Amino acid sequence: MTELRFEGVSFVYPDGTRALEGVDLEIPHGQRVAIVGQNGSGKSTLVRHLDGLLRPTEGRVLHDGADIAGRRVAALAATVGIAFQNPDRQIFAGKVRDEVAFGPRILGRDAAQVAAAVTSALEAVGLADDVEANPYDLGYSRRKLLAFASVLAMDTPVLVLDEPTTGQDARGIARVQAVVDDVSGSGRTVIAISHDMRFVAESFERVVVMGVGRVILDGPPTEVFAEAAWPVLGSTYLEPTHAARVGARLGLGSTPTEADLVESLASGTIVRPTG
């Protein structure tokens, strides 16, 4: 169980770029949270504070109420697993099996536990047939799934995915969604950064919207994609889902997903647009 909390966190990169400005955010254990916002709004910077890869310039990051300032990345990595946006920053082993085994091994699991973790993580992302392959013989989308598996294998209470659907085809996205459901179903926290609003609306219960370095909106998809919130989304260059736009145009209220929209159309009375 790990409750995550940001208290007034600001972060300034060495070149002077102010990436975060007084972020307050609390994520209870077991929640599924999507973080969205324009390019450069501080999403990746924010999540790198969760395992100490970056340390706040001001403010505090807490795990279960305790400040993590004094704790090392290696220790925090047992709690928070992060799969980076660019898999090539993460992959280093010559074999898929070794890449995925590294995490659980370094956490001190025994050989049988490591083998089981590798098998189940590779099965979850659909790479079970590639255990003997060299990671760099896999295409970009599969390297991304591999990076994802190597974090999954660590079985951390908190899983963070930075742009997991980037470069994935329809089947790859469905696979990522299934993994999110699985991990969440086992009671763990899943945090994902994404520009894919359909994925966000379908797979997450809470959406945190970032403007430049700040949280500007925070709520369930029905609230965040509701017409009233569109101006705030627009201010960070985001658009509601296609389903949300069609639903609003037809006067059906907030329909963030296509399933919501079809359900609404099938059951409700349609207010015909007048414009």
Q: Name the residues that contact another protein, by CB under 8 A.
A: 13, 15, 17, 37-40, 44, 85-86, 88-89, 139-142, 163, 166-173, 195, 197-198, 236-239, 241-243, 246, 249-250, 258-259, 261-262, 265-266, 270
Contacts of 213 (CB under 8 A, 6+ apart): 10, 18, 19, 20, 21, 23, 41, 42
Instruction: Return d(Cα 269, Cα 252) in angstroms, integer.
Output: 8
Which is closer to another protein, CB of 55 or CB of 242? 242
Which is closer to another protein, CB of 101 or CB of 243? 243
Give the shortest CB-1-to-another protein separation in angstroms. Answer: 32
Which is closer to another protein, CB of 178 or CB of 246? 246
Q: Enter the tokens of residue 190.
A: 């899943």
Instruction: Return d(Cα 112, Cα 118) in angstroms, integer.
Output: 10
Question: Position 222: which residue type?
Answer: T
Give the shortest CB-275-to-another protein separation in angstroms. Answer: 11
Which is closer to another protein, CB of 53 or CB of 246? 246
Give the shortest CB-82-to-another protein separation in angstroms. Answer: 14
Residue 271 and residue 250 in contact, taking contact as beta carbons nearer than 8 Å: yes
- Cα dihedral sign, 64-65-71-72: positive
Give the shortest CB-236-to-another protein separation in angstroms. Answer: 8
